[in-house]
Structure 1
Amino acid sequence: MSTSFLLFFALAGSVVAQNFWFSFGDSYTQTGFLDNEALPSVANPFGNPPFPGFTATGGPNWIDFDTTTHNNSLVFTYNYAFGGATIDANLVAPFEPTVLSVTDQVNQFLQTVASKPASTPWTSENSLFSIWIGINDLGNSYFLSDNRTSFDTTLLDAEFALVQQLVSTHSSLFDVGARNFLFLNVPPTDRSPLMLAEPASAQAMLKANILDFNSQLVEFAENFKASNAGVTTLIWDSNTAFNTILDDPTAFGFIDAVSFGTGPGFFWINTLHTTSPANVFWAEGVADVLEGTIF
């Protein structure tokens, strides 16, 4: 899955299948898409802003790479992800009240292109819906409750209620019809420079919370698939991907597992986000998971 969509489109006289990617998440995914500006097109498969958009990586991020390089079709990506997002601001407040939660992001989709307008002729067969969320939900709350398992269940109940809205009837006017889902679990942010500055006890607490959330995510995805005929659910294990590099960073071309900066060789660009070179690995991992799908 390494052929650029541009290459496919450049084939003279060829008919190129259009696929649609609707993405929800936080700063690990954001590109700054606004649904009231230019929509995805051949000129810019993200619509707006200009590629690679406003990312937290210092360059293209994983969804940038997967949309433009690691695929076998022309992909139009509607990336609703918003920096700082949580699943639901009523459950875990974001760092600012203006942050759009995944609840807000899904509502944006439902209120605009969910009805499959002529501008966005997606179908159940040619579309992918992805969610990478939980980093801020856990990072902003892991220290607040002793019963983390119960609260993680509450968070995932809220997330999958939104996912169900993407599948089922939105109103008396139309059935939404999403069928292909990709979930990305929470990476080991307990190993981020931000958390390494905290006591070991805090790191251990966040790590345990992440492992519980990720374990439940697998169960929720399996149950969701079983309860919805025709639905496909895929999971990319970001936690393992991050740990593989952090355990042996020099083998992957990085200086170490703890430094951060914008120069060559850094894994972290700041205390919480990974660099664009690291995002190449995330993009490749996601592409592997999507191998054999419509993408």
Structure 2
Amino acid sequence: MIRNVSSIIALLLLASCGAETGPESPVADLGAGRAIAEDRCSGCHGLDGRGKTSEIPNLAAQPAEYLVEAMQAYREDRRHHSALQELISGFSEADVRNIAAHFAALPPLPPAPDPPAEGIAYREGAEIAKACFSCHGENGFSTEPGIPNLAGQQPIYLMVSTQEYASGARGHEVKEEMLAGLEQIDLEKMALFFAAQLPPRREPPPFGNPAVGEPLTASCGGCHGARGVSHDPVIPSLAGQEPNYLVSAIRAYRDHERSHEDMITNRSDEDIENIAAYYSVQ
């Protein structure tokens, strides 16, 4: 009996000695991972692992297993991003482990800093500007015939114009009343907001011919810029402007209802409509 028990124990010991053990996980090289990340990843994810825009994720202190899985998913076309797929396809398995280990070892990122002062001014300008939307359209893009765009306009020109309306110098009681109570800094913030807007492209108006109007704008481009995009902060842009407003304004200069020594005075109504049609679709 004792001999049988000893035999069984011996067999169990042999079996345990012969059992296979699982492979050890490869050890990541943090230095190698840091070198690759600084060379290939930092352009988007920063040296500290912070995404450089709100659309780019932070990688600092993310779990290494998650980062490895994410990179493998890009490589295997289970995630889609052409730039990342091309980048990661050139990494070896060791590179992927090392990069993941590097980012996982970085300290957690502190909260993003408060927005800069100019961001606050822009948001405050947007609130002030809402009072103008009922006439000039949302974000200053006018769809009302005869009402000018404010979107994308030169900011200093807008500041001067609103100051003149506020003071009564332009003789518009409704605007003067609307702007009453606003400080100079409020007008500047509002102008900043409107100047930062990009107006959508207009459809051609039902009058005029943009192709015919283009050569007629040669005398206008010296002040208002090529295609009506002004590079002088005190001269308004005409590109994308509401066409009926342009017709009305140019006629007023021609007929001396508005005064400006450099404005055209020898254009027919047909010429003016063609000029307005050209500028409105730029």
Same fold flag (TM > 0.5): no
More helix by share: 2
Query: Which has the greater radius of gyration?
Result: 2
More strand by share: 1
TM-score, normalised via structure 2 length = 0.23
TM-score, normalised via structure 1 length = 0.22
